[in-house]
């Protein structure tokens, strides 16, 4: 049976009554399978190279320069997913960061960031230069967000688990780019997640719109002069889309909506929400546009606000701890250590430049957790190796994708070390890309892959 027979009747009636809407084409799209998207992580690999070496069938998508439609075989169990080479992300969801126009050197806030698709996409566009703060209000989802930030090798991020009304006033005018991918009624996910359709009611979009406007009211405080605020949802509801943006702009004349590149989707429909004509500058994506469903609006702060604040000055790690870490780093990697070394307890962090003062904020992680000082030795972390450049790894155990030892390592087993891998800590690689690390002794690679990340 086609999924559209299980869609809420009130939802279908509303879509059918929208003026000048291709409802027939829309409803036919529910007879087709959902799109599967993949985005190449440019912190690890260039999309052109990935197209050449990919074991999957790929087709370019219009939503991001690094985005593809992908066939079967791409999953979270694949070694290159473990290595952060690619991120499985619904294709039209990539449009929000494309509209955000992130460039190296900028300071970026992703306010509703879990599970991390848009955060890692924005971080890749920074190319390690600048700073991104990734926030998620739900603790369990914030933990998933942190895991994805680490897997994708992001060095210049902080991950927080905080309410917008507490976080945003502390960071007034700090960010060049702010993304609010707001919690929504999820109508654009009905084709992928039938359970979302089962939970939907006629009241859901109205309740979501109220919450979304409240989040925007906090988010706008953090936008620097001349900065950009992008609002996005994965719903079709005019109340949550054109209606929210129109209400926000009426309350904030210091923001102006800007056109978005027309390479994807179609113009927004202010007439569906009795909104101002300029709301048509936003973009809508329907399933017949090549994505599951998305709405994106780009707004620039034209005046008002305050200049971006100075950053937090933290005391560096003590000389002895820095000496131990630097000695270890130079034994493992050929490049120079990055970030500002900071020690808390026995843990060593490599903090990013532009890290703001987050005192009083529930901070899960800033920068890269490098490892732990234990007595007179340094013990590395998984995150240190995932954030490393593959070409800088000196002692490495590089396995081909079809090597049984690689599968066993990702399962948590110790394996025979490959020829040429020296005694001591070694980066473990999946055909050229780091997936983690182990310790070699007597020709055996002892497993240090985190239990929670293993293929079971």
Active-site residue numbers?
A: 234
Using CA atoms, how far apart are residues 243 and 245, in angstroms rounded to an integer? 6
Burial class (CB in 10 A: 0-12, 13-18, 19+), 141: middle
Report d(CA 177, CA 210) in Å as an integer. Answer: 23
Total residues found in the chain within this entry: 456
Nearest in space to 130 (alpha carbons), one of 154, 160, 113:
154
The set of residues, in sequence order, having a beta carbon less than 8 Å from that of 359 and lying 6+ positions away, is none
Residue 48: both structure tokens together: 């052109």
Cα–Cα distance measured from residue 357 to residue 142, given in angstroms and rounded to the nearest whole number: 20
For the sheet containing 67-70, what is the strand order?
A: 58-60, 67-70, 37-40, 86-88
Tokens describing residue 14: 């509303």
Rounded Cα distance between 27 and 151, Å, is: 38
Compute the Cα dihedral for 334, 338, 344, 347 and give only its sign.
negative
Residue 228 in tokens = 């950009």
CA distance 253 to 238: 21
Distance of alpha carbon 375 from its chain centroid, rounded? 36
Give me the sheet containing 368-374, strands edge to edge.
Answer: 340-344, 347-351, 368-374, 377-380
The CA-based dihedral angle spanning residues 128, 87, 245, 193, taken in that order and rounded to the nearest 10 degrees: -160
């Amino acid at each position: 049976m086609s999924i559209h027979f299980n869609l809420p009747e009130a939802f279908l009636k509303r879509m059918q009554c929208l003026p000048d809407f291709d409802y027939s084409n829309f409803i036919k799209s529910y007879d087709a399978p959902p799109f599967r998207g993949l985005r190449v992580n440019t912190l690890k690999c260039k999309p052109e190279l990935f197209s050449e070496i990919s074991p999957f069938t790929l087709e370019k998508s219009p939503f991001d320069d690094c985005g593809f439609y992908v066939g079967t075989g791409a999953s979270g169990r694949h070694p290159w997913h473990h290595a952060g080479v690619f991120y499985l992300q619904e294709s039209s969801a990539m449009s929000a960061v494309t509209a955000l126009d992130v460039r190296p050197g900028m300071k970026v806030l992703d306010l509703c960031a879990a599970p991390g698709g848009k955060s890692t996409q924005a971080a890749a566009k920074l190319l390690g230069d600048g700073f991104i703060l990734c926030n998620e209000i739900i603790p369990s989802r914030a933990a998933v967000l942190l895991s994805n930030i680490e897997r994708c090798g992001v060095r210049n991020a902080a991950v927080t688990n905080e309410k917008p009304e507490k976080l945003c006033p502390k960071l007034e005018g700090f960010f060049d780019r702010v993304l609010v991918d707001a919690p929504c009624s999820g109508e654009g996910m009905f084709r992928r997640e039938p359970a979302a359709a089962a939970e939907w009611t006629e009241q859901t979009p109205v309740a979501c719109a109220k919450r979304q406007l409240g989040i925007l009211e906090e988010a706008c405080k953090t936008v620097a002069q001349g900065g950009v605020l992008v609002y996005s949802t994965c719903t079709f509801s005019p109340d949550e889309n054109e209606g929210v943006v129109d209400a926000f702009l009426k309350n904030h004349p210091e923001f102006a909506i800007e056109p978005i590149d027309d390479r994807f989707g179609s113009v927004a429909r202010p007439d569906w929400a009795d909104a101002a004509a300029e709301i048509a500058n936003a973009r809508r994506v329907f399933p017949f546009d090549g994505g599951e469903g998305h709405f994106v609006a780009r707004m620039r702060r034209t005046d008002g606000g305050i200049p971006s604040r100075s950053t937090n000055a933290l005391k560096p790690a003590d000389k002895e701890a820095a000496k131990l870490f630097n000695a270890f780093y130079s034994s493992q990697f050929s490049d120079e250590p990055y970030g500002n070394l900071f020690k808390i307890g026995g843990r060593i962090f490599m903090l990013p430049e532009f890290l703001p003062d987050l005192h009083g904020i529930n901070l899960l992680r800033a920068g890269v957790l490098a490892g732990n000082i234990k007595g007179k030795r340094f013990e590395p972390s998984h995150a240190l190796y995932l954030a490393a450049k593959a070409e800088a790894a000196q002692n490495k155990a590089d396995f081909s994708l079809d090597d049984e030892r690689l599968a066993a390592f990702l399962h948590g087993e110790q394996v025979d070390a490959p020829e040429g891998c020296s005694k001591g800590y070694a980066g473990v690689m999946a055909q050229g890309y780091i997936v983690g690390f182990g310790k070699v002794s007597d020709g055996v690679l002892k497993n240090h892959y985190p239990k929670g990340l293993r293929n079971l």
